[in-house]
Amino acid sequence: MNGDEHNHDHDHDDHAPTREDDDLELTEGEARFLALKSLLIEQGVMTADEIRARMEFNERGSPHQAARMIARAWVDPAYKERMLSDTKAAAAELGIEATEAALVTIENTPKRHNMVVCTLCSCYPRSLLGEPPAFYVSKAYRSRAVREPRKVLREFGVDIPDAVDIAVHDSNADLRYVIMPMRPAGTEGLSEDDLAALITRDSVVGCALPVEPA
Amino acid sequence: MVDKLVTDIGGEPAGAVPQEDRDQLFWEKQMIAAFNLLQVKGVVVTDEFRRTVEEMPAEYYANSTFYGRRLDGMIRLLIEKGVLDADTFDKRAQEILAAGTRDHV
Amino acid sequence: MRILDIGKPGHVRTPTYVRHKTGTIERFCGLFENPEDKAYGRWGLPPIPLYRVQFRQDDIWPDYDGAPGDVLEIEIYDHWLAPAGEDS
């Protein structure tokens, strides 16, 4: 989707986001948003400072947050129990402010692989993973993940053997889901930070497995 | 039997899942932040917003992009609620598009 | 439990693919404001029970291609649920 917007280069300074798209031509979509924004500010509904502050807040939501939690759970069984029973409180323990009404962690096991989709829109645990990736919001994923999960996973290069059941979680209402992947073999000596680096965004929605250690 | 919502696509046949990532554009990040504020301030409710997306014509929805329909859904909702005046909004959007710059914001 | 098709027009969060299907309650999720009211400017109060319902994939899709133990879980509000065998 929006493939025509992929092509600008990204060797900009990530810390100066106000400049990052200035080399792109103004599209109708952006113009409509800018019109909306300017009217909301003029009418006193919100201020430009509030928008900036909220953008900074939203930037904290990134896959690194979920990875930190899962890595902690891999090394600390008591934390893992707390994360499975109350994911929001477990996030708060690591200083992560989760804005979702309710978060649930679901653990992959040798007998069951879990994956998440929101068929009706694109519900996603943004506080722990940031904005959803293009595949997750695509109509193809939303349509097919519930009906042919194994085929969809194979497109991601993930082949789940038939001896392992697949549970698809349609995130259709009030809960938001985090998948806790299994800790890869051969990671016994790794630090929590090194473990977190193995936990990719897609592994937390069940569309990938953690990276194997080098 | 009630007609299926345009958003109710779970289980329908579809092509390959796109594997290519796409970074959010700056204005899209601004848009998400502004929409978050509209919710936090109680101007709009998530389910109202979803409903406006569901009310889009099927053909429009089928051809819409994720950020495009979010923007259009919010504009529809704010007009419905009287927060936004449709004519004022259209005029402002046309001016900005004609100017082609981001300088005035 | 059986998922009803309550014939309600407008904003609902029960996708058609699970309607008339039979599954089991996996967990009670808590009480949540009713989205079917909130979508129209009402408060959605009092909050209503929400359940996580699990289905065998074979029970949803007659031509499902996967393992017999494959399941799907989805959140369903109380008024969409009836005892298995009942449907209206």
Question: Is A1 touching B (CB cutoff 8 A)?
Answer: yes
pLDDT band of C57, cuts 50, 70, 90: very high
* Contact between chains at A26 and B100 (C-beta distance less than 8 A): yes
Q: What percent of chain C is predicted at pLDDT more than 70?
A: 99
Give the best residue of B4, B28, B30, B51 to mutate against chain A (max A CB count within 10 A): B30
Enumerate the residues of chain A whose CB falls inside 8 A of the CB of residue C76: 173
C-alpha span between C52 and C75 (Å, rounded): 4
Average pLDDT along chain C:
95
Question: Is B18 touching A (CB cutoff 8 A)?
Answer: yes
Q: Is the pLDDT of residue A175 over 60?
A: yes
Strands of the A165-170 sheet, one edge to the other: A112-117, A165-170, C71-77, C48-56, C24-32
What does the pLDDT average to over C53-64?
A: 97
Q: Is the pLDDT of residue A13 over 80?
A: no
Task: Give the count of Cβ contacts less than 8 A between chain B and C.
Answer: 42
State the nearest Cα–Cα gap between A88 and chain B, in angstroms.
19
Enumerate the residues of chain C whose CB falls inside 8 A of the CB of residue B13: none
Per-residue pLDDT tens over the stretch A109-149: 999 999 999 999 999 999 999 999 999 999 999 999 999 99
* Contact between chains at C7 and B2 (C-beta distance less than 8 A): yes
Domains in chain B: boundaries: 26-99
What does the pLDDT average to over A10-15?
A: 42
Per-residue pLDDT tens over the stretch C25-47: 999 999 999 999 999 999 999 99
Give the best residue of A139, A148, A201 to mutate against chain B (max B CB count within 10 A): A139
Which CATH class, in words, describes the domain spanning B26-99?
mainly alpha
State the nearest Cα–Cα gap between A110 and chain B, in angstroms.
26
Question: Is B85 touching C (CB cutoff 8 A)?
Answer: no
CATH superfamily of A63-204: Nitrile hydratase alpha /Thiocyanate hydrolase gamma (3.90.330.10)
Q: What is the pLDDT of residue B102?
A: 82
Find the closest chain A residue to C57 by CA distance: A147
Q: What percent of chain A is predicted at pLDDT more than 90?
A: 87
Q: Are B6 and B56 in contact (CB under 8 A)?
A: yes
Q: What is the pLDDT of residue C10?
A: 94
| C63 inside domain | yes
Tell me the two tokens of residue C25: 């309650």
Q: Is the pLDDT of residue B11 over 60?
A: yes
Per-residue pLDDT tens over the stretch B30-85: 999 999 999 999 999 999 999 999 999 999 999 999 999 999 999 999 999 999 99
* Contact between chains at B21 and A134 (C-beta distance less than 8 A): yes
Average pLDDT along chain A:
91
What does the pLDDT average to over A59-64?
A: 96
**Total domains, chain C:** 1
- What's the ipTM? 0.96
Structural domain boundaries, residue C61: 2-82
CATH of the domain at C20: 2.30.30.50
